[in-house]
Amino acid sequence: VQLQASGGGLVQTGGSLRLSCAASGPTLNSYGVAWFRQAPGKEREGLIVRRSSGQTWYSDSAKGRFTVSRDNAENTVYLQMNNLKDDDTAVYYCAAGFPIFSTRWDWQAYRYWGQGTQVTVSS
């Protein structure tokens, strides 16, 4: 499966942004899908993991502000981000694969990656 992430940009503190991860090839329904981000000088951080069953986990950074949704017809997964903070500035990636439960937050457990989209939050 090939993933194409988009929707990043410059947004004011407190604003919202929706990122898209469009897949070509096999349906994303067959994969575990995750959103990660990486800020300069920091390790890649897992935000949301969604299994093919629909079971979803949120990291502490994402809880209460970020949500994931899926459009099966478009074979696309979305990351809705609300109440954005300056610390949310990073490159955001979508990923797909078959991580086991214990490795679901480990970026190395995902085989397929989108190219990343820059999100910059500034007051």
Torsion of CA 112, 117, 121, 122, to 10 degrees: 150
The pLDDT tens digits for 83-119 are 999 999 999 999 999 988 899 999 999 999 999 999 9
Q: Which residues pair with 82 in a beta bridge?
A: none
- Render pLDDT for 68-85 as a digit per residue (tens, 0 to 9): 999 989 999 999 999 999
Q: Write the DSSP symbol of residue 31.
A: S
| Residue 108: DSSP 8-state | G
Half-sphere exposure of 61 (CA within 13 A, CB side): 18
